[in-house]
Amino acid sequence: MNEKLIVIGRGFLGIEVEKRAKEQGYAVICTNKTKQKNSVKLNIVNSKEVEEFVLKHNPKFIINCAVSGKIDYLENHQVEAFNVNTLGIKNLAKICKKRKIKIIHISTDSIFDGLRGNYSENDLPNPLNIYAKSKFLGEEELKNIAEDYIIIRTNFYGIDKRGNYFLNWILDSIKNKEEIKGFEDIIFSPVDIQTLSSIVIELLTKEYSGILHISSGKQISKFRFITKIVEFLGEDTKKIIPINYHQSLFNSKRPMNTTLNNKKSLKIIKTPIISIDQWLKNHKKEILDYIRNS
């Protein structure tokens, strides 16, 4: 194949997308906002820099995994939120239109207000915090400018080697024999990062343009998600403390039910979406290694 692909943002998801893309024979160039091993420095907020970079490498596809996602932090740092999550997308959209490049952009389930859940691609977003607003405006920029694009709304889980994500926090808490507080009334429908990455690569060759919801299609509370992990590892579930949203100390509003309806995407993709239980079985060694070595 050897078609050229640029992955913007070599973070948790970007690394997994890069891995899947290389397995499928793509020639992958990864970028990051700071120079790191295995990536090239690129500031997507700088439109000139973006255009020069894309013209130099002339890719057939771009996958944008870049995000500024520290939700509470962004409430008081709004410029950063809108620079990365909105302006950066606008810059990518403009060059993709100019060079006729297909772009896949990773968005979030957080753009909905969470009042009812089971959101379809046709439901109107109503973001509650600055992070969600900046992500939604990024979607709008892409829709209004780009011609060949896919916006993926999703929520994903997995083991981040740098220890920054929800599952890492759960596993760290288990390792340290700490109590784990889990929201009974915050509901989501996450998909594992390996499946999500495979779907992203599959969609590169699909004749589709627009929004897609990639989810497990099954709703689960944060409390129940934590309980599944603890039970799987044979640990004491008494250390899981059920709490409600009103007991939180968040600096920003959070949607309570962001479950996504995935019926449309299932008609397009062939990659199977596995359950949390199956993912745990498939990744037992990785989970145990993380607990032992983190």
Contact 200, 152 (CB under 8 A): yes
The CA distance from 34 to 40, in Å, is: 8
| pLDDT for the residue numbered 34 | 84
Tokens linked to 194: 């390996």
| pLDDT for the residue numbered 247 | 80
Nearest Cα residue to 259 out of 214, 224, 225: 214
Contact 17, 73 (CB under 8 A): no
| pLDDT for the residue numbered 250 | 80
The CA distance from 41 to 92, in Å, is: 15
DSSP class of residue 109 equals G
pLDDT in tens, the chain (294 residues): 689 999 999 999 999 999 999 999 999 999 998 878 888 999 999 999 999 999 999 999 999 999 998 999 999 999 999 999 999 999 999 999 999 999 999 999 999 999 999 999 999 999 999 999 999 999 999 999 999 999 999 999 999 988 788 999 999 999 999 999 999 999 999 999 999 999 999 999 999 999 999 999 999 999 999 999 999 999 989 999 999 998 877 888 999 999 999 999 999 999 999 999 999 999 999 999 999 887
> To which CATH superfamily is domain 4-163+190-218+260-274 assigned?
NAD(P)-binding Rossmann-like Domain (3.40.50.720)
| pLDDT for the residue numbered 35 | 77
Specify the pairing of strand 240-243 against strand 180-183. parallel
Which residues, including other chains, have CB under 8 Å from residue 282's CB and lie 6 or more apart? 274
The CA distance from 32 to 27, in Å, is: 17
Tokens linked to 172: 């760290």
